[in-house]
């Protein structure tokens, strides 16, 4: 009887462990489970049918614009596909339409021409709500979409090259009067798939869905020199139900960064980013982080789950950036299964990231940073384990570190102030603010969409003692 009870105990524990490990995998897959880059389109044309020449010299802006104008007549007839064959296709900005697939051959390269997407456009949102982009003072992105549905940008690992070097030079020389363009930007759009492509040398951020929902970015490679300015990889911005998976990014700024508007403009527009799933990402960045939040987070960021992050040769591993004046919140963030190698600062939470769009921000608009769980992290060749800094009068709370093992070079591995939380199995030992004692009842977010986990309360449904106590009694017979 005792042996059989032990087997039962083991089996139930195995089931329990599997439930915990797959809890967020199941939930997150709901966001994008019905989205695929392989949607059948009954109407298809090739860009050469509109006079395009893939010699890398001929400007094909009109060909792309005319092709998409023609395909718009099929939007309500099952949709259409624009195919880009092998070649080097120089073009300026062009706009997408709904129910469209833009498909690139494996040897196709769409090349952005700085001379022909060099004009400012008026932002449909009359505010500084969109990250760092200024109304009436930005260049249109190379590939742009507004108020669309059912858009697929895909290929057999074809490439989109922004020729960003000239833009980076203008930025460094302070000769730009307008914000640099993205490679792909979609606004107020839904059911978006970006997959199986390589993005190179973006002038600014690479993939920027803003005010969007149901967005899937997968099997994407993003490349830019490690010293290129602001070449973020994927930036979900005030967007919901976003999945980013199986991507490789090597760039000059954040690999994946979540945003939701800047200071008073983001606060007034109040469009959060939420329900975001990130998995199986490998990244390298000299100037940013493997995964980041903010610093434009004034509309709020919540319900973010990330796992399977591999961060190498980078400045930061995991980072939250905010400041007085931001308002908003970053909460209910669950990050697990992270490995780092040669990272200067493994975990950084910054409460004094002080850039502002103007001087009109409310200095008393303080952000709420809470329910941040980071677990199952290993790191080799780490400079500093963590710099975790809240704001005077605005402690960042429920910061939880579990099963974190870092090989740290610094004799002062942790620097913490104005934070509260919990730590367990952290090497080197975490800062005092995260070391709870028996009188404390810290709360750690467990990745579920509805509750947090009281790590010291056995009555909680996810506590191991809740499951073990009756079974241990059974095993004692």
Give me the DSSP letters along 11-74. HHHHHHHHHHHHHHHHHHHHHHTT--S----SEEEEGGGGT---EEEEE-HHHHHHHHHHHGGG
Q: How far is C-alpha 240 from the chain's CA centre?
A: 12
Domain ranges (residues) in the chain = 88-462
Complete DSSP assignment for 68-83: HHHHGGGTTTT-EEEE
Residue 364 exposure: Cα atoms within 13 Å on the Cβ side: 0
CA atoms within 13 A on the CB side of 313: 10
Torsion of CA 388, 248, 191, 210, to 10 degrees: 40
Nearest Cα neighbor of 403 from 385, 425, 386 is 425
Q: Which of 308, 269, 267 is nearest to 291 (CA)?
A: 308
- Asked about 253 being catalytic, the answer comes back as yes
Structure tokens at 271: 């469009």
The C-alpha atoms of residue 114 and residue 95 are separated, in whole angstroms, by: 16
| Interatomic CA distance for residues 73 and 235, integer angstroms | 31
pLDDT in the model for residue 123: 54
The CATH number that domain 88-462 falls under is 2.160.20.10
What pLDDT was estimated at residue 476?
A: 37
Active-site residue, from 150, 161, 235, 253: 253
What backbone phi and psi angles, to 5 degrees, belong to 224? -160, 155
What the block records as the tokens of 352 is 């004094």
Query: Could you tell me how far CA 191 lies from the centroid of its own chain?
Result: 17
Task: Please tell me the pTM assigned to this model.
Answer: 0.88
φ/ψ region of 174 (left if φ > 0, alpha if ψ in -120 to 50, else beta) reads left
Q: For position 330, what pLDDT does the model report?
A: 98
Taking only the tens of pLDDT, the chain with its 477 residues reads 444 444 444 343 333 334 434 444 445 557 777 789 999 999 999 999 999 999 999 999 999 999 999 999 999 999 999 999 999 999 999 999 999 999 999 999 999 998 766 555 555 544 445 556 655 567 789 999 999 999 999 999 999 999 999 999 999 999 988 889 999 999 999 999 999 999 999 999 999 999 999 999 999 999 999 999 999 999 999 999 999 999 999 999 999 999 999 999 999 999 999 999 999 999 999 999 999 999 999 999 999 999 999 999 999 999 999 999 999 999 999 999 999 999 999 999 999 998 898 899 999 999 999 999 999 999 999 999 999 999 999 999 999 999 999 999 999 999 999 999 999 999 999 999 998 654 455 579 988 755 444 443 332 333 333 333 333 333 333
> CA–CA separation, 336 vs 64, rounded Å?
42
């Amino acid at each position: 009887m005792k042996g059989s009870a032990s087997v039962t105990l083991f089996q139930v524990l195995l089931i329990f462990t599997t439930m915990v490990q797959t809890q967020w995998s199941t939930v997150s897959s709901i966001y994008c489970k019905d989205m695929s880059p392989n949607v059948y389109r009954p109407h298809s044309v090739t860009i050469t049918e509109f006079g395009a020449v893939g010699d890398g010299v001929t400007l094909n802006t009109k060909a792309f614009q005319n092709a998409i104008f023609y395909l718009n007549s099929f939007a309500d007839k099952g949709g259409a596909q624009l195919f880009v064959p092998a070649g080097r296709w120089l073009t300026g900005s062009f706009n997408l339409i709904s129910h469209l697939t833009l498909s690139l051959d494996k040897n196709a390269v769409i090349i952005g021409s700085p001379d022909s997407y060099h004009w400012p456009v008026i932002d449909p949102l009359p505010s500084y709500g969109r990250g760092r982009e200024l109304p009436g003072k930005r260049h249109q992105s190379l590939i742009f979409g507004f108020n669309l549905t059912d858009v697929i940008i895909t290929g057999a690992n074809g490439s989109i090259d922004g020729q960003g070097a000239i833009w980076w030079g203008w930025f460094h020389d302070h000769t730009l009067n307008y914000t640099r363009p993205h490679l792909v930007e979609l606004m107020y759009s839904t059911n978006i798939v970006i997959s199986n492509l390589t993005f190179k040398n973006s002038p600014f951020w690479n993939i920027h869905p803003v005010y969007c929902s149901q967005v899937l970015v997968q099997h994407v490679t993003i490349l830019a020199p490690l010293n290129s300015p602001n070449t973020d990889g994927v930036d979900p911005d005030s967007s919901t139900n976003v999945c980013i998976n199986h991507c490789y990014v090597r760039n000059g700024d954040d690999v994946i960064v979540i945003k939701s508007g800047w200071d008073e403009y983001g606060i007034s527009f109040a469009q959060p980013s939420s329900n975001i799933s990130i998995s199986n990402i490998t990244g390298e960045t000299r100037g940013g982080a493997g995964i980041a939040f903010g610093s434009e987070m004034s509309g709020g960021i919540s319900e973010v789950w990330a796992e399977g992050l591999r961060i190498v040769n980078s400045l930061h591993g995991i980072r939250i950036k905010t400041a007085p004046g931001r308002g908003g919140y970053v909460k209910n963030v669950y990050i697990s299964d992270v490995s780092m190698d040669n990272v200067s600062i493994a975990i950084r939470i910054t409460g004094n990231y002080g850039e502002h769009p103007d001087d009109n921000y409310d200095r008393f608009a303080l952000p709420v940073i809470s329910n941040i769980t980071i677990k199952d992290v290993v790191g080799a060749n780490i400079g500093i384990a963590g710099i975790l800094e809240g704001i005077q009068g605005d402690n960042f709370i429920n910061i939880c570190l579990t099963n974190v093992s870092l090989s740290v070079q610094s004799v002062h591995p942790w620097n913490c102030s104005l934070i509260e939380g919990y730590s367990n199995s952290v090497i080197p030992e975490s800062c005092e603010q995260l070391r709870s004692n028996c009188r404390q009842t810290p709360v750690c977010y467990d990745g579920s969409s509805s509750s947090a986990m009281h790590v010291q309360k056995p009555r909680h449904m996810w506590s191991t003692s809740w499951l073990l106590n009756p079974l241990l009694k059974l095993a004692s017979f």
